[in-house]
Each structure stands twice: as structure tokens, then as C-alpha cells.
Amino acid sequence: MFPIVINVLIFVCAVLSIVGDRTNNRIGHYIFKPFTMLLIIGAALSNGLPETLFTQCLLVGLLLSFCGDVFLMLPKDRFVAGLASFLLAHIAYLVAFFQLYQFNFSWGWVAILAVIAVTFYRLLSPVLGELKMPVMVYIGAIVAMLWMAGELYFAQASNLHLLLMVGAIIFAVSDSALAWNKFKQPFKSAQWVILLTYFAAQSLFGQALFMS
């Protein structure tokens, strides 16, 4: 796990990125949102460069997420570019998890994820317009990542697998909140929910890299 001081710094920077996201002045957001991810990536690499495919894919996922952050915070709308970056990040995480997969299959877990994903997509689809297919693909990638992370933990309840499963679940919560706020119904304190869960998830993946 990261040292306590690093976790505190990540949390403080995440809060500053949210507080700094004001309509008339977003400078704090522009500074602290990417800096928080750079802090997570730097802490994850403090034990050395990744040597296994698992750790290399985790690093790729973190870097792609950083790119997605930059796209989403630009003044001009770069939502599709951000969506593509995070889609590739989810695929990178999925490939990373697959390196540890023991080919177990939990039907109950699959059924739960399928019901939630289909229900959420049906609620969003009427307002997605031309983004219906990209969002469907993106949800599929999230579900695949969630499924794989869960299977790892169900097969072996280690600290590493717990980090990956909780990180995947929290990441899905963040993405769901972002999609709901953007497409369906903006809600109060959306940025707090979206970014705190997002940085928590990325921090858990970074700590998994740090531990490996």
C-alpha cells in the first residue's frame, strides 16, 4: 500500500481539483486534476518500473486515464476523445486482470452485472442520440473489467485481488455518475461523487501496481 502521506496528498489534491472547478475560474481544476493522476502514477512507480505484463498493463491504464482526464477538462468539448481514452484504459485494465485469471466462472456475478448494465443502458439510451453505440461499447468494457476483477477475488481472496475488485466497482460508480449527470439528469454535488470515486479507484489500481 502507498505510505499514509501519499494517500493524504492524493486525497487533498483530488479535493482541490473539485473545489477549483468553478464556472468563472477553473485554474485550480486544470492544475490539480492531472496532478492527482500524476501523483498516483509516480507513487505506483516508486518501487521501480513494471516488469510483468500485469503491471505494465496497469501502468498503461493509468496513463490512458490521465489522457482521458486532459481531454475531459479542456475548454472545447472533447468528450468523445475522453471516452475513447477511458475505453482503452478499461481494456488495458481488463488485459492486466486476465494475466491473473484462473478461468473460474461465477454465474451469479455475471447475472448481477448483466442486469445492472442493461437497466442502466435502457435508462440512458433515449437521450444518447448518436452516442448510443459508443456508450454501449463503453458499458460493455466496464462490465468485462468488473467481471474479471470479481472473478479474481472469488478465486482467491487476496489483498491484491481485493484492491482490484473494489477499484473496478468504484470506477464503475464514477463512470455511471458521470454518464447520468451528463446525459440524463444533472445532480447536485456531481463533481464530488464523480471525481472522489474516480481518484479512489485509480489510487487502488496504482497501489496494486505498487504492491506488485
Task: Locate the domains of the chain by residue range.
Answer: 4-211
pTM, entire model: 0.95
HSE-CB of 154 using CA atoms within 13 angstroms: 16
Please, which residues have CB within 8 angstroms of residue 23's CB and are 6 or more apart in sequence?
A: none
151 pLDDT more than 90: yes
pLDDT tens for residues 62-77?
Answer: 999 999 999 988 767 6
pLDDT tens for residues 67-112?
Answer: 999 998 876 768 888 889 999 999 999 999 999 999 999 999 999 9
What's the CA gap between 194 and 189, in Å, rounded?
9
Please, which residues have CB within 8 angstroms of residue 15's CB and are 6 or more apart in sequence?
A: 196
Q: Is 103 left (phi over 0), alpha (psi -120 to 50) or beta?
A: left
